[in-house]
Amino acid sequence: AQKITQTQPGMFVQEKEAVTLDCTYDTSDPSYGLFWYKQPSSGEMIFLIYQGSYDQQNATEGRYSLNFQKARKSANLVISASQLGDSAMYFCAMREPQGGSEKLVFGKGTKLTVNP
């Protein structure tokens, strides 16, 4: 079963508007971490934001915020005031302890295009 689901293969947004990228996850472990990474066409993975399973408040980092709904197992990324440079692939990932090796499992990604 897929552990991280990103249902939007592609999203379009107008410059300066906000956009929400969806991510749902599946785990039975009470301790886990959720991450969002941005991958521009150059290929590098850029860390955006992190949410721990025990964090009481939604994570925020500048224009990025994470809408964490634990009961629904969702961790949507909200980008406010979109910029042309935000056009990229966005990956949601989960880290859970598995035999001492806390590896990341990635979703399939969402391609975001910001239109001028």
Partner 1 sequence: GAVVSQHPSRVICKSGTSVKIECRSLDFQATTMFWYRQFPKQSLMLMATSNEGSKATYEQGVEKDKFLINHASLTLSTLTVTSAHPEDSSFYICSADGRLAGEDEQFFGPGTRLTVL
CA distances from 26 to 3, 15, 71, 105 (A): 5, 33, 11, 11
Q: Which helix or strand (DSSP H or E) is residue 14 part of?
A: strand 10-14
Q: Closest Cα partner for 116 from 87, 84, 90, 92?
A: 84
Instruction: For the CB of residue 101, give the shortest distance to partner 1 in the complex, in Å.
Output: 5
**Interface with partner 1 includes 37 (CB under 8 A)?**
yes
Query: DSSP label at 72?
Result: T
**Interface with partner 1 includes 44 (CB under 8 A)?**
yes
**Interface with partner 1 includes 91 (CB under 8 A)?**
yes
Q: Which of 23, 24, 25, 33 binds partner 1 (CB under 8 A)?
A: 33
CA angle 32, 60, 12 (to 5 degrees): 95
Instruction: For the CB of residue 22, give the shortest distance to partner 1 in the complex, in Å.
Output: 15
**Interface with partner 1 includes 57 (CB under 8 A)?**
no
Instruction: For the CB of residue 42, give the shortest distance to partner 1 in the complex, in Å.
Output: 8
- The residues that touch partner 1, with contacts defined as CB under 8 A, are 33, 35, 37, 42-45, 47, 50, 52, 91, 95, 101-109
